[in-house]
Homo-oligomer: A and B are copies of this chain.
Amino acid sequence: MNRTLRMTHQREIILAELQRSKTHPTADELYERIKKKLPRVSLATVYRNLEILSEAGLIKKLEISGRQKRFDWDPGEHDHVYCVRCQRVDNIETDAPAPSVASAQEQGYRITGCRIEFFGLCPKCLQQQKNKPSKGERAMACPSCTTPTLSETQRQVLEALANTSEACGSKELAAATGLESKQVSCQLTALKNKGLVDSPIRCKYAITEQGKSILS
C-alpha cells in the first residue's frame, strides 16, 4: 500500500548538498550546485526529490509568502526572517511563546499549525541602502531589464530626443519622427518607465544618460 522509497544516487546527492548548505536555497540554486556532481540530473528530479524528502520529514520545505520555495536541511520547528530586497532567508529565534488562538475565535477550524515569519532588510542590503541616496522609488530596475529592448517606434522617438539640445514636448517629437502625437506620447511613457527618458518639467521630455547609452 505505502510506496517504498528508494535511496537513489541522485536522491543521496541532493540531500547531501542541501545539508551542507548553511542558507535556505531554492530548488534551482541547488540544481546548479548538483549539476557539478551529476551533470545529467534534471531540474524535475531535484524538485521531485525535495518534495519527497520533505514529505518523509528529512528536510523541510519553506513556503514563504509570495515567493519562490526554499528548502531547509533542518526539519525541526523554527522560524525565519527574510530580506525583502535580496530574498535571503535566515533562521531567527523569537522570545515570545508560540502564539495560540483565542479558542472562541477558531470558528470551527481544526488548526494544525502556525507559521511565523519576519521580514526586513538583511545586513548586506542595509549597507547598500546607506550608500545610495535612494533617488526616487524605482532607482534600481529589475535585474532582467538591464538592457531593455526597444520597439522600432521607441527607438525612433528616443533618437529624435537625442538630437534635441533641450527638453521638448511630444508635438515636436511627432513632427521630427513623422509619427502621430498620440503614439509618441505613449512611447514616451514607456521610455520613461524604462528610465531612458525623464520629464524635467511637466510635458517636456529629455533623454537620460541611460537612454543615450542604449542608443550607442
Contact = CB atoms under 8 A, between A and B. Distances in A.
Interface of A: 63-67, 69, 81, 83-84, 90, 92-102, 105-123, 126
User: How many copies altogether?
Assistant: 2
Contacts of A66: 63-64, 69
B114 A114 contact: no
A118 B114 contact: yes
B109 A81 contact: yes
A136 to B, nearest CB: 8
Given A63-B66, A114-B118, A102 B109 contact: no
Contact of A100 (B65, B83, B96, B111): B96
B100 A112 contact: no
Contacts of A117: 114-115
Contact of A115 (B94, B109, B119): B119
B84 A95 contact: no
Contacts of A108: 122-123, 126
A106 B83 CA distance: 12
Nearest to A65: B63
Nearest to A115: B117
Nearest to A107: B90
8 contacts: A95-B99, A96-B99, A99-B99, A111-B120, A113-B118, A114-B118, A115-B115, A115-B116
Given A90-B107, A109-B122, 11 more contacts: A81-B107, A84-B112, A93-B101, A93-B105, A94-B99, A95-B100, A109-B120, A109-B126, A111-B118, A113-B120, A115-B118
Contacts of A63: 65-67
Contact of A102 (B95, B99, B101): B95
A116 B99 contact: yes
Contact of A120 (B97, B112, B126): B112
